[in-house]
Amino acid sequence: MADRVANQIAAGEVVERPASVVKELLENSLDANAKKIEVEFRDGGKSYIRVEDDGQGMNQDQALLSLERHATSKIREAKDLNQVTTFGFRGEALPSIASVSRFTMRTRTKNCEEGSELFINGGKLVHVKDCGMPAGTRIEVSHLFNSVPGRRKFLKTVVTESSHLMHLSKLYALAHPEINFSLLEGGRVIFKSPACDNLADRVMEIFGKGFAASLAPVEFQNEKMKLRGLAGIPGQSRSTRKEMIFFVNHRPVESKTLSYATIEAFHTFVPKGRFPPAILFLELDPSLVDVNVHPSKKEIRFREEFKVRNFLLSGLLDRNQKLGNEFKPIAPPADLYEFDNVSQKMVPQIDPAALHLYGISKEESVTKNIQVESDLFKSGEPNEFPTEAEPVDYSKGQEELITPELVGVRTDALASWRLIDRPKGDLALFSTVDGLVVFHGRAAYERVHFEKLEDALKLDGNSVSQSLLIPETFEADEVEVAIINREFDKLKTIGFEIEEFGRNYFRLSGCPEWLDPTEGLNFIKDFLAVSRERGKNLKAIDVFRDVMIDKSSIKTFESGGFSDNEIIHLAKDLLSCRNPFTCPKGNPTYFEIPTRDFEARFRRKV
């Protein structure tokens, strides 16, 4: 078989579409230690692709050798495949691309005075000559698949191919925020990001402030693995998996192990059927991962998938739970005392927030105080300030002048959340320092009481029980009787009053205060059904969680059933929960509209 035909066959595996060309060329640039990479394309990459970098470059002999099949300097022996630390290592990319396009390479090392230019058309070398070139490599690929029309007709529309190419370029820009990265389409800049100090800055450059604001840092490790990156704040979700992005040793990959572990870690933190946004970097020993599974290296295989899954799942779950209680009252000023020029003594500092309630500025207050005190001295009235004040030890700190609240009414200037209005039903509007919060009372009520249930089961404390006006009886079969006897103490702990009422009959005389009394019997029946279905090895708390999530038996209210005070107390309780962002079903309890969104809409500062 001729080399040209062999290269075209290999191109069928390596070069699937224009985005595949960009992927291979980007990986070569990264392996060349480039600090600046520029990608340009036209017509979705079908007619023109250019990838230029400032990496190590090649001399003429190395450039010619790179176009030979399986010519690579990154793999010496077969055992090196177990320790792959570079991106491109098979030596198939350049000859495969050159065999199905018009291929021009210009390259120069720092030690060479002149660069080298190689032009290949459909796999045939046309010329090799010297050229002017800065240190690095510039590769242009045009008329892709013109020599193989059977492959070209399977390419999608320009819009589709462009979207694939842009998405892939963004992945490599995310993987290497320390690199100056540019992407252009026909001379128009799609995005241009300078070298960034951290991943969050690069995410903001590529995806915008809105997406970056929905993410929070992630970082944890054990002896063999380390995970870092950004993941969605509980309650933030997307309709597709497109924004679940994974990197293994800085290589963008598709992995069911990582994907399913992340989705499971966000169970009840996002609604069912939706997916958390995440940009996660997993770092581990190269010998523990096989990157040579897929021809284009999209998919990988872990040698210990179970350990990787548990590492990711436990770490993300712990992180999500810790994110819950991050709300703190606004801190009062550090300096609570100030020097009074009139009395020549230290006096309590005037709280600007307190003055604001009466429409008085700090400057006006000082002026009025000085005038009043001056008039007192002139009138000859006795000095109200003590001549000998007891010394105060300021180093030990003083009590706060005004105790800040987490949630308060509209006039509570120091509250982090201030209730503005309740426009409809269970909705409430709160004003915050950063914008406007839309709060759902019923969803918050479900979350608060769900966590009370969890605490009662974990701490073996007794929940408040309410007696039923008319006790209800129910019949159970042998399996259900065994379940009731096994979980009797747990049911009593959370507030259910159950007693035997004859053979295979029981009487329910009380239920937890957070449960609608009319739903008490249905809850018990659902509990027995789920326990029977899941088996006896499932913990009681997991059964209760499933019942509460699936059956929605928590007490409900008529529209507008919450008063203003109840809404305020409910918001306080919610913000002290472990996961205040979602209800037990994973639906949001509230969302915040930041001030910058209003500024963007009005196109001015607010």
Report the pLDDT value the prediction gives residue 517, as an integer from 0 to 100: 81
pLDDT at 344 over 50: yes
3-193: CATH superfamily: Histidine kinase-like ATPase, C-terminal domain (3.30.565.10)
Report the pLDDT value the prediction gives residue 260, as an integer from 0 to 100: 92
Angle, alpha carbons 59-64-65 (nearest 5°): 100
Token duo for residue 201: 């800055």
464-513+515-551 in CATH: which number?
Answer: 3.30.1370.100
Report the pLDDT value the prediction gives residue 558, as an integer from 0 to 100: 45
Handedness of CA 571, 217, 458, 583 (dihedral sign): positive
How many whole angstroms separate alpha carbon 237 and alpha carbon 254?
19
Instruction: Give residue-wise pLDDT tens across range 381-422.
Output: 444 444 444 444 444 444 444 556 788 888 777 788 889 988
Domain ranges of the chain: 3-193, 214-322, 332-386+397-403, 464-513+515-551
C-alpha to C-alpha distances, 222 to 155, 308, 311, 314, nearest whole angstrom: 44, 11, 8, 12
Q: Choose from 83-87, 297-301, 474-478 the range with maximum mean pLDDT.
A: 474-478
Report the pLDDT value the prediction gives residue 247, as an integer from 0 to 100: 93
Collapsing DSSP states into helix, strand and coil, what is residue 80?
Answer: helix
More confident call, 21 vs 11: 21
**Contact status, residue 385 vs residue 343, Cβ threshold 8 Å:** yes
Instruction: Give residue-wise pLDDT tens across range 161-200.
Output: 999 999 999 999 999 999 999 999 988 898 888 888 889 9
Q: Which of 396, 405, 394 is nearest to 332 (CA)?
A: 405
Report the pLDDT value the prediction gives residue 410, as an integer from 0 to 100: 83
Residue type, 380: G
How many whole angstroms separate alpha carbon 368 and alpha carbon 390?
27
Q: What's the whole-number mean pLDDT along residues 152-164?
A: 87
CATH architecture, domain 214-322: 2-Layer Sandwich (3.30)
C-alpha to C-alpha distances, 459 to 339, 488, 496, nearest whole angstrom: 51, 16, 17
Report the pLDDT value the prediction gives residue 354, as an integer from 0 to 100: 58
In the numeric block, the tokens 């992945």 are attached to 171
- Burial string for 97-120 (b: 16+ CB within 10 Å, else e) reads bbbbbbbbbbbbbeebeebbbbbb
Instruction: Give residue-wise pLDDT tens across range 532-550.
Output: 877 666 666 667 767 766 5
How many whole angstroms separate alpha carbon 213 and alpha carbon 207?
10
How many whole angstroms separate alpha carbon 524 and alpha carbon 330?
44
Q: At what angle do helices 441-459 and 540-551 cross, to 10 degrees?
A: 170
**Contact status, residue 451 vs residue 445, Cβ threshold 8 Å:** no
Report the pLDDT value the prediction gives residue 227, as an integer from 0 to 100: 94
